Amino acid sequence: MRPPSMVQRLGAEFLGTFWLVFGGCGAAIFAAGFLAPNVVGGGSLHLGIGFLGVALAFGLTVVTMAYAVGHVSGAHFNPAVTIGVAVARRFEWKDVPAYVVAQVLGGLLAGLSLWAIAGGAPGFDATGNMAANGYGDHSPGGYSLVAVLCAEILLTAIFLYVILGATDSRAPEGFAPIAIGLALTLIHLVSIPISNTSVNPARSTAVAFFNGNGAPGQLWMFWVAPIIGAAIAGATFHLITGVDRRDRDISGEIDPEDLRVAEGVDPDAPR
């Protein structure tokens, strides 16, 4: 069994990030507040999925793609996650730039696709309606820069703690994608009113420029805060939990010892 090549790993990250943005932001753009004509009593019926539906959409994108391609790339789909696991010494720093580029490009393609599809509805104006993240006047609840900064740092750190713990070999096998997806769902339930929820610089970048309305000018915060939060978690996970799996890769590559076992070689046999 050969480990995935770097091209395959980057393709998986591109695809996974595309689906995260398309599924999550698409749910927010098209379905969150959908109104349908009431053919019985007149007026309109609210058939939208609301905050709960959008939160579930983001979580489900991670669950589905983690099962689909997690064994190829590690299912980061997020520059903050890639940097966080590198800080935790669970990922090679030399691979970080390529992963981040693949994630951003996948997200941007999803943003472009959403913008193109949304433009097919009569009267649709992308400005301010592309599920962009923001603070101050661009926060759904009007939360300040400091409030959004704190929320994004804290929630990204928690997200990384869940990822690092769920991918431990002693955690229930095969359930990591579910735990990680549910964590992202809960994060959205908390913070959609605060910042429209980022915890992912690629997700924020993907729609900011199509959204306009001040989103590009605030994008810096949705890079800085998630990366800080992820770095904090990566640096402290082993100290808080006592679980030290540093130098154990979660990129999707096969550990040499695991490969020897898969090939029927006694791992204790001389090399």
Dihedral Cα 222, 139, 22, 249, nearest 10 deg? 30
pLDDT of residue 178: 97
pLDDT of residue 104: 98
pLDDT of residue 245: 67
Which residue ranges of the chain lie beneath pLDDT 50? 252-256, 258-267, 270-271
pLDDT of residue 249: 54
What's this model's pTM, rounded to 2 decimal places?
Answer: 0.88
pLDDT of residue 251: 52
pLDDT of residue 47: 81
pLDDT of residue 41: 65
> Tell me, which fold does domain 6-249 have in CATH?
Glycerol uptake facilitator protein (1.20.1080)
For the chain, which residues make up each domain, given as ranges? 6-249
